[in-house]
Amino acid sequence: MQSPETGSAPLEAAQRQRGPVTLLLRRRNHREWMLWALAWLLVLALAWHVSWRARDRIVAQDMQRLQGQAQAVEIHLTRHLKAISAALAGAGQLLPPDLAAAPSVPFPLKLLVEAMPGVRGLQITDRDGRVLAASQPELTDRDVSARPYFMTVRASSQPDTLYVSPPFRSVLGNFTTVLSRTLHDTDGRFSGVISASLDVDYFEIVLRALLYAPDARATIAHGDGPIIMSSPLEDARIGFDLNQPGSLFRVHMQSGRMHNLLQGRMVGKSEMRMMALRAVEPAALLLDRPLVVYMSRHTDAVLAPWWAELRTELLLLVLTMAVSAVWLRWHQGRRHLQERTERKAAQAERESARRLEFGLRGADLGLWEWNLADDTITVNAREMEMLGYPPTDEPLSAEFWRALLHSDDQAETERAIAAHLRNEAPSYRLEHRYRHRDGHWIWVLTHAMVMQRTARGKPLRVVGTHLDISERKRSQLELERMNAQLAALSLTDGLTGVANRRQFDQTLALEWARGLRNHQPLALLMLDVDHFKRYNDHLGHPEGDAALRAVAQVLSGCLRTPVEKLMRYGGEEFAVLLIDADAHAGARVAQRCLDAIAQARLPHPDSPLSPWISVSIGVASLVPQPEHVQEQLVMAADAALYRAKEQGRVRYEIATADDTLKRPTGLQPLMP
């Protein structure tokens, strides 16, 4: 039997062994916890770094997207400004120099408005601010002389400048912005203003189509600060001045840059916003004030997904720290979060596509998508309606669309598409014709670009729009025809049908410059019908007009080559300009004219010279030199004509050297 001392020995030995093991376990556990804590500190630090980088990427990506949307608005707005400026300039050239004396405007303003997208109205104002004509009849005869936009244009009166007014409330009760160009009379003096008012609703639709998030805002402001239009439309903000101390607008304008990416608070708003600002001031268009495009988003809304993701990550990390099995759950949560983010992105893309489709419908655009893999094209309902076909959801063969293309437009269209597919141009844009289902041709404006390529750059998908511009084309052709008619009428004498004094001045200036360059002589014949006043007094002005027409017809028959040009100088006086001809050549033509008039035997019952109409001719020739002026040639021929009249008329005289050296200090009057 063991003693108590002998039985307690193994227990004490076991306790002595358990002590070091427990210490080792504690130390190992301590090391593991230290490593665990260190690892999680590293994980937390890395997670925070990655999350902050993700935040920066989100901000940068959205900033770039805002920049792209702002640039799209700038391009669209620039195109409209150029088109409106060109239309105003073209319309201004059709107006008579004296607006006050004009019976009416020679073209329908309402037709011009219908042919110009984005324009609500046109009006023509005389120098005193009275509206002579307007596309909206209720504006006619109103006095706008006190309107700032009219006073600004009248005070500056620069002929090539497009004036952009700040927004104001019109007499019709709506806010509007006016684009104006000056009109000038023949002396270059200010004679009035031709103006176009912008259609805010049209641009609001375009801006709305570019808003890809509920918190996105698009604004167009005047260069002086007032808001012209915005989307979503806020009537209370129209005209609000953004150019205030410390405002982002002033920061942008003072930077001198055409575009900026900024963050801060907008004037009159409390929330922080990210925004892209672009100045619309195209080099090819002279604006008195630039426009500024804003595209912005609420900073909190942009970062809302990031905050949600950050909270999720923290929760997953805490759960992982508490239970080792949560690591898998955390990974699954991350995967779920990623899928959710992708779904949100896909939903946002679908929403953006829906807004784009809405904007396209509002802008009357046909949308199409070309799949190059199977050479098929999918279109929206507006595209089919434009061509007279029923809507379809089925892809159509691209060959079907090629067959609709006008043969005269095929080569240019194929070149533009091929260049873009080779990535030589960022997009392609051109005007061409399609055959309508009922057989007639319609003009469309095509704008398209490759939306998807392979890694090697091979195009896979092209997306584009079609805009029916048939009415605009018809209006454009009509305007061109009217311009051609007006140009021809402005250079032709209405009585005799030969070139008039204006064409004489232009032709003489052109040939004088050519002779100065090529050292070639010019000859000028000044012809005057003898005793024509007595003819008018005896037979009356109607018979006198008929006689002038007959004389012009006879003289036209005398001229045998294109370098012999007959023009009516004024009254009963005609001029013949001979190119690369000396005085002898001029004398031969003068004698030919004298003989032709004599042979025509045009009656003159009150002439003291003969019973027939006769002419006197002065001939001058000069080789243009830098020290000469073209009026010297006219004065020399006029002096020779004067001598021909003094020496009995019915003859020609050649200008002397003294005649050609005289500088223009006033022309001598002709003998009656």
Residue range 396-422, pLDDT digits in tens: 888 888 888 889 988 898 898 888 888
Whole-angstrom Cα distance, residue 501 to residue 571? 10
Torsion (CA) 263, 266, 269, 273 in degrees, nearest 10:
-20
Q: Which residue has the higher pLDDT, 28 or 136?
A: 136
Which tokens hold the place of 608? 């003291």
Q: Are residues 171 and 285 in the same domain?
A: yes
Residue 358 pLDDT level (bands cut at 50, 70, 90): low
Q: Is the pLDDT of residue 587 over 90?
A: yes
The mean per-residue pLDDT over the stretch 620-645 comes to 92
Q: Are residues 374 and 359 in the same domain?
A: no
Q: Is the pLDDT of residue 191 over 60?
A: yes
Q: Give a yes or no: residue 203 inside a domain.
A: yes
The mean per-residue pLDDT over the stretch 170-195 comes to 85
Q: Are residues 585 and 621 in the same domain?
A: yes
pLDDT score for 670: 35
Whole-angstrom Cα distance, residue 3 to residue 139? 129
Q: Where are the alpha helices (DSSP H) in 132-258?
A: 148-156, 200-209, 248-255
CATH code of the domain containing 567: 3.30.70.270
Q: Are residues 308 and 451 in the same domain?
A: no
Which tokens hold the place of 273? 């916003």
Q: Is the pLDDT of residue 3 over 60?
A: no
Contact of 653 with 636, CB cutoff 8 Å: no
Number of domains in the chain: 3
Q: Give a yes or no: residue 1 inside a domain.
A: no
Whole-angstrom Cα distance, residue 233 to residue 321? 50
> Whose structure tokens read 């533009």?
416
Whole-angstrom Cα distance, residue 602 to residue 530? 12
The mean per-residue pLDDT over the stretch 471-478 comes to 80
Whole-angstrom Cα distance, residue 150 to residue 460? 53
How crowded is residue 458: how many other Cβ atoms within 10 Å of its Cβ? 13
Q: Is the pLDDT of residue 55 over 90?
A: no
pLDDT score for 7: 45
Q: Is the pLDDT of residue 17 over 50?
A: no
Which tokens hold the place of 195? 């103006």
Q: Give a yes or no: residue 34 inside a domain.
A: yes
Q: Are residues 226 and 300 in the same domain?
A: yes
The mean per-residue pLDDT over the stretch 357-381 comes to 76
The mean per-residue pLDDT over the stretch 357-371 comes to 70
Q: Are residues 192 and 227 in the same domain?
A: yes
Contact of 540 with 487, CB cutoff 8 Å: no
580: containing domain: 491-661
Q: Are residues 524 and 443 in the same domain?
A: no
pTM above 0.75, yes or no: no
pLDDT score for 357: 57
The mean per-residue pLDDT over the stretch 97-120 comes to 71
Q: Tell me the three state secondary structure of residue 623.
A: coil
Q: Where are the alpha helices (DSSP H) in 422-526?
A: 470-490, 501-518
Contacts of residue 304, defined as CB under 8 A and 6 or more positions apart, other chains included, come to none
Boundary of a domain, candidates 337, 363, 389:
363
Whole-angstrom Cα distance, residue 274 to residue 261? 8
> Whose structure tokens read 């630090």?
45
Contact of 589 with 524, CB cutoff 8 Å: no
Q: Give a yes or no: residue 4 inside a domain.
A: no
Residue of 544, 623, 549, 540 whose CA lies nearest to 582: 623
| Rg from Cα positions in the chain | 41
DSSP state of 425: S
CATH code of the domain containing 272: 3.30.450.20
The mean per-residue pLDDT over the stretch 357-383 comes to 77
pLDDT score for 394: 80
Dihedral sign for Cα atoms in the order 165, 169, 172, 174: positive
Q: Give a yes or no: residue 410 inside a domain.
A: yes
Whole-angstrom Cα distance, residue 167 to residue 169? 7
Could you tell me how many helices (H) and strands (E) the chain has, helices first? 18, 23
Whole-angstrom Cα distance, residue 602 to residue 622? 33
Residue 6 pLDDT level (bands cut at 50, 70, 90): very low
Q: Is the pLDDT of residue 18 over 60?
A: no
Rounded to the nearest 5°, which phi and psi values hold at 254? -75, -15
Q: Give a yes or no: residue 325 inside a domain.
A: yes
Contact of 573 with 527, CB cutoff 8 Å: yes
Contacts of range 559-566, beta carbons closer than 8 Å, 24 or more positions apart: 559/589, 564/589, 565/499, 565/507, 566/498, 566/499
Q: Is the pLDDT of residue 329 over 60?
A: no
How crowded is residue 89: how many other Cβ atoms within 10 Å of its Cβ? 14
pLDDT tens across 213-242, in order?
888 888 888 888 898 888 887 765 788 888
Whole-angstrom Cα distance, residue 473 to residue 443? 7
Which tokens hold the place of 636? 């020399």
The mean per-residue pLDDT over the stretch 541-567 comes to 88
Burial level of 301, CB count in 10 A (0-12/13-18/19+)? middle
Boundary of a domain, candidates 363, 398, 423:
363
Q: Are residues 132 and 250 in the same domain?
A: yes
Whole-angstrom Cα distance, residue 142 to residue 6? 128
Whole-angstrom Cα distance, residue 547 to residue 529? 10
The mean per-residue pLDDT over the stretch 327-346 comes to 61
Q: Cα 508–512–515 angle (5° rounding)?
A: 140
Strands 428-435 and 441-453: antiparallel
Q: Are residues 443 and 591 in the same domain?
A: no
pLDDT score for 106: 57
Contact of 589 with 645, CB cutoff 8 Å: no
Q: Are residues 99 and 239 in the same domain?
A: yes
Contact of 522 with 564, CB cutoff 8 Å: no
Q: Are residues 354 and 369 in the same domain?
A: no
Q: Are residues 445 and 530 in the same domain?
A: no
pLDDT tens across 657-668, in order?
777 666 565 443
The mean per-residue pLDDT over the stretch 124-144 comes to 86
Which tokens hold the place of 419? 């260049």
pLDDT score for 1: 43
Strands 573-579 and 564-570: antiparallel
Region of 239 on the Ramachandran plot (φ > 0 left; ψ -120 to 50 alpha; else beta): left
Which tokens hold the place of 335? 């995967």
Q: Give a yes or no: residue 475 inside a domain.
A: no
The mean per-residue pLDDT over the stretch 518-522 comes to 93
Boundary of a domain, candidates 336, 363, 390:
363
Residue 92 pLDDT level (bands cut at 50, 70, 90): confident
Q: Give a yes or no: residue 149 inside a domain.
A: yes
Mean pLDDT of the residues in the chain: 82
